[in-house]
Structure 1
Amino acid sequence: MKIAVYGANGYQGKLVLAELARHDIDIVLVGRNGARLREAATTAGTVGAEQRVADTDDHDALVAAFRGADAVINCAGPFTSSGPAVISAAIAAGCHHVDTAGEQLYTKAVFDTFAGEAERAGVTVVPSTNDGCVPGDLLAHLVAERVQPIEEITVSHFVTGGGGFSRGSLRSAVETLDAIKAGGLTYDDGDWRIGTPARHTSITLPDTPQPADVVKCPLSEVVTIPRHIAVRHVESLVDAAIAAQLDTPLTPQIIDSLPEGPTEEDRRTQRFTYLIDAVGRDGQTARGILRGHDTYGITAVIAVEAARRLVVDGAKPGVLAPAQAYDPTSFLSFLAPHGISWTITVSDTSTLQQ
């Protein structure tokens, strides 16, 4: 098996390289700068891996760089501007494709743009194979099996510690800042809409008596969940304290002056809780609780496993949500040794706060 990593020299890319090396998978490092690729290979312990230089504005070079690989993992953000070129080249090269994007509008654009092209080429594209979208989408599918029919699903993200964002994540945030400030897409009555007010302004976390303030945030689960669950309304929220971190004006110069990303110690001490709250049309509720640590590290684990399963197990050609491409219980069970735990509770009283 051979997997190409685009953006291999970035912060997330190097974590993906190290994860691939642990699986003894043949790697092709692809990026815009040969010197930085060599440096990344040294840092990740993959010096012997093949390295190919290609920019996103050169389709033929990208196709040639991916040729011979079974799958491509794209770690090069901002994905909104450069991601489509990588997908197009991967499809042309006959490769499956996953990426580590967290940009909601990009995720939707992938479904809207590449579904037919990927299907005709016989390859599978799964966008947003990151710490939130994959386990959240899979857990939502399992939650939906407990409550039918479903009126609404609310996805909430809470993160503590971690040392902040990587430079790549900040560049993606800046490029999509308007969508972030607007709260992003909400799925409502059969379509995705912008500008829909949040139904919830606070959420009660497990084992916490006081509700936490939340705000709308464009998470990719809003795009993926309605593709495999019949639901009337899906919205995504984050801890208001996390959203406040993006209120500080950022320029390219400021971002370049920051550390490449969190230290290993910061990542080790970080904790996250993601909630999937479903309300049935009969008033019954179910809550999925996902806990873990190290968002960047677990993203590398998830992206590599997502690509590996497409190559080994296969999936329907086209653009798929995680729960369409992978067995939810199997994939979540795989994540358990990596510190991911999940539970589902069903009750008649919702813990969501209006």
Structure 2
Amino acid sequence: MKIAVYGASGYQGKLVLAELARRDIDMRLVGRNATRLLEAATTVGTAAGAGAAQQRVADTDDHDALVAAFRGCDAVINCAGPFTSSGPAVVRAAIAAGCHYVDTAGEQLYTKAVFDTFTGDAQRAGVTVVPAANDGCAPGDLIAHLLAERVRSIEEISVSHFVTGGGGFSRGSLRSAVETIDAIKAGGLSYDDGGWRSGTPARHTTVTLPDAPRPTDVVKCPLSEVVTIPRHIPVRHVESHVDAAVAAQLDAPLTPGIIDSLPEGPTEADRRTQRFTYLIDAVSRDGQSIRGVVRGHDTYGITAVIAVEAARRLAADGAEPGVLAPAQAFDPTSFLTFLAPHGISWTITVSDTPTT
């Protein structure tokens, strides 16, 4: 098995390389800059025993070079954001090379565009594309499917992300935020009665965390679960939120110069202090509520674990060709169980009244 990593020299890309090396999976490093690729290969080879990993230089505006870089690999993991502008070229090249594809994107409109644009191409090529294989969308989408197995006729699903500690965002995450800032400030898409719509008022402005004495203020935010969940769960409404205090951090002006002056990403010590809680709250049409809770630490590190395992499973076991949500491509219980040794815990609680 060989897995190509696009954006291999970036912050998230290097974490993916380290995870591939830890699992002794053959890899090919692909990116825009030969010097940075060599540095990344040397770092992984020295630190994780990867040996002389292959390197290929290819930019997103050179389709033929990208296809050649991916050819001969079983899957591609794309870590190069901002995905909204550069991601489609990588998906297109992976499909043309006959490779399964996953990415670490957190950009909601990009995730929807992958479904809208590449489903037919992937089906015809016999490959599977799974966007947003990251710390939030993958476990959230998987556990939502388990909720739907417990409670039938779901009316509404609300997804909420809470992250504390961790030393802040990587430069790549900030660049993605800047590129999609209008969608972020507008709250992104909601799913309503069979379609995705922008400008829909939030149904929830507070969410109560497990064991919390009082509700926490939240704001609508464009999370990819809004795109993926309705593809495998019959539901009338899906919306997503983040902690209002965290969202306010993006109100500060960010220029390319400011971003370039920041550290590449959180240090390993900072990542160890980070904690996240993701809530998936569902309400059935008869008013019964059910909550899924995902807890863990180190969003960037667990994203690397999820992306590598998703690509490995596609390469080893296959899935239905096309563009799929995580819960369509993988068995939810099996994948979530795999994540447990990596610090991910999850629970499902059913109650008789809606969660607020």
Q: Structure 2 length normalisation: TM-score? A: 0.98
CA drift of 1:145 comes to 1.2
The aligned counterpart of 2:252 is 248
Deviations 1:120-139 (A, max 9, x none): 00000000000000000000
Task: Give the whole-Å Cα distance in 1 for the aligned partners of 2:317 and 2:334.
Answer: 12
* 2:91 is the alignment partner of 1:87: yes
* 2:295 is the alignment partner of 1:291: yes
Deviations 1:46-84 (A, max 9, x none): 450000000000000000000100000000000000000
Instruction: Judge which range, 43-52 or 4-13, deviates more.
Output: 43-52
Correspondence list, 1:89-104, <5 A: 89-104=93-108
Letter in 1 for 2:195: D
Task: Give the whole-Å Cα distance in 1 for the aligned partners of 2:249 and 2:3.
Answer: 35
SS in 1 for 2:150: coil
SS in 2 for 1:145: helix
Match of 2:272 among 258, 263, 268: 268
Q: CA RMSD in A?
A: 0.6
Task: Give the whole-Å Cα distance in 1 for the aligned partners of 2:355 and 2:325.
Answer: 27
* 2:73 is the alignment partner of 1:69: yes
CA contact under 8 A between 1:9 and 1:37: conserved in structure 2? Answer: yes
The aligned counterpart of 2:320 is 316
The aligned counterpart of 2:219 is 215
Match of 1:347 among 337, 347, 351: 351
CA drift of 1:144 comes to 1.1
CA contact under 8 A between 1:15 and 1:44: conserved in structure 2? Answer: no
CA drift of 1:147 comes to 1.4
* 2:329 is the alignment partner of 1:325: yes
Task: Give the whole-Å Cα distance in 2 for the aligned partners of 1:147 and 1:234.
Answer: 16
The aligned counterpart of 2:305 is 301
Task: Give the whole-Å Cα distance in 1 for the aligned partners of 2:140 and 2:168.
Answer: 21
The aligned counterpart of 1:230 is 234
Task: Give the whole-Å Cα distance in 1 for the aligned partners of 2:318 and 2:145.
Answer: 20
Deviations 1:285-344 (A, max 9, x none): 000000000000000000000000001111000000000000000000000000000000
* 2:43 is the alignment partner of 1:39: no
Letter in 1 for 2:258: I
The aligned counterpart of 1:135 is 139
Deviations 1:175-211 (A, max 9, x none): 0000000000000000000000100000000000110
CA drift of 1:101 comes to 0.2
CA drift of 1:148 comes to 1.1
The aligned counterpart of 1:155 is 159
Percent of aligned positions with the same letter in both sequences? Answer: 85
The aligned counterpart of 2:9 is 9
Match of 1:109 among 103, 106, 113: 113
The aligned counterpart of 1:54 is 58
Task: Give the whole-Å Cα distance in 2 for the aligned partners of 1:245 and 1:235.
Answer: 21
* 2:250 is the alignment partner of 1:278: no
* 2:111 is the alignment partner of 1:119: no
CA drift of 1:351 comes to 2.3
* 2:171 is the alignment partner of 1:167: yes
Task: Give the whole-Å Cα distance in 2 for the aligned partners of 1:192 and 1:162.
Answer: 32
CA drift of 1:44 comes to 2.2
Task: Give the whole-Å Cα distance in 2 for the aligned partners of 1:298 and 1:236.
Answer: 21
The aligned counterpart of 1:199 is 203
CA contact under 8 A between 1:8 and 1:29: conserved in structure 2? Answer: yes
Task: Give the whole-Å Cα distance in 1 for the aligned partners of 2:138 and 2:320.
Answer: 17
Structure 2 residues without counterparts, runs of 5 or longer: none
Letter in 1 for 2:68: A
Task: Give the whole-Å Cα distance in 2 for the aligned partners of 1:196 and 1:269.
Answer: 35
Q: Structure 1 length normalisation: TM-score? A: 0.99
The aligned counterpart of 1:19 is 19
Runs of 4+ in 1 over 6 A off after TM superposition: none
CA contact under 8 A between 1:38 and 1:47: conserved in structure 2? Answer: no
